[in-house]
Amino acid sequence: MPAGDAFTPDQLYDIEKAVRHAEEVSGLHFSVYVGGADSETRPFALELLNELDDPDHTVLVYVDPAGRRLEIVTGAVAKRQLSDAAAGLAALSMQTSFATGDLTGGLVTGVQQLGEHAHQAPLLHANEPHKQ
C-alpha cells in the first residue's frame, strides 16, 4: 500500500463488494466518500450527492474521519425505499465501528445494512408510476 492511503487494496475491495451487493439487492445506486469536508458536513454531503450521475436514486455515505462525522444522504427517490429510521440504524452501527478505529468494517457493515433495508420485494406494478 502506498504510504498515506486511507485503505489497502483488500479493504477497498471489501467496501466495493459491499457497495455492489447493496446495489444488487436494492436496485439503488450507492456511493461512499471518505475525506474531509470543505464546509459543514451535511451541505458538503449534499453537494457530493448532486455531483453523482443519478442523485435521486442514490444513497451517499459520507465519512469525515478527522471531524468524526458521518452523513447518510438518500436521494429523492431513494428515500422512499430507505427510510430515515433505517438509515439511522445503519448510522448507529457504523458509528460504533468508527469509534473503535475500524473504518473498513464500519463501512462494509453499514452499506450492507443500508442495502438490506432498501431491499424491496418485487411487486407487480406496485412501483411503477401511475399511467393514464
Partner 1 sequence: MITEVSGHTLLVFVGIPALVLAVVALLVFAPSIANGPRYRPGLSWWAPPVWINGPTATKPDPAKLPDQHSLPELPAAPGATASAGAGVARSTGGASASW
Amino acid at 33: Y
Question: How many residues contact partner 1, by CB under 8 A?
Answer: 70
Q: Are 60 and 52 in contact (CB under 8 A)?
A: yes
> If DSSP codes are grouped into helix, strand and coil, which group holds residue 2?
coil
Least separation, in Å, of the C-beta of 98 and partner 1?
5
CA distance 9 to 31: 17
Q: What is the CA radius of gyration of the chain?
A: 15
Q: Which of 21, 24, 57, 95 binds partner 1 (CB under 8 A)?
A: 95
- Give the nearest distance from C-beta 121 to partner 1 in angstroms: 20
Distance CA 15, CA 13 (A): 5
Given candidates 72, 115, 117, 118, which one binds partner 1 under the rule CB under 8 A? Answer: 72
Q: Is 68 one of the binding residues for partner 1 (CB under 8 A)?
A: yes
Using CB under 8 A, pick the residue from 26, 28, 98, 108 that binds partner 1: 98
> What residue type is 7 in one-letter code?
F
The only residue of 122, 123, 129, 132 in contact with partner 1, by rule CB under 8 A: 129
Contacts of 91 (CB under 8 A, 6+ apart): 70, 72, 110
Q: Name the residues that contact partner 1, by CB under 8 A.
A: 1, 3-8, 12, 15-16, 19, 29-36, 41-53, 55-56, 59-60, 65-80, 82-84, 87-88, 90-92, 94-96, 98-103, 129
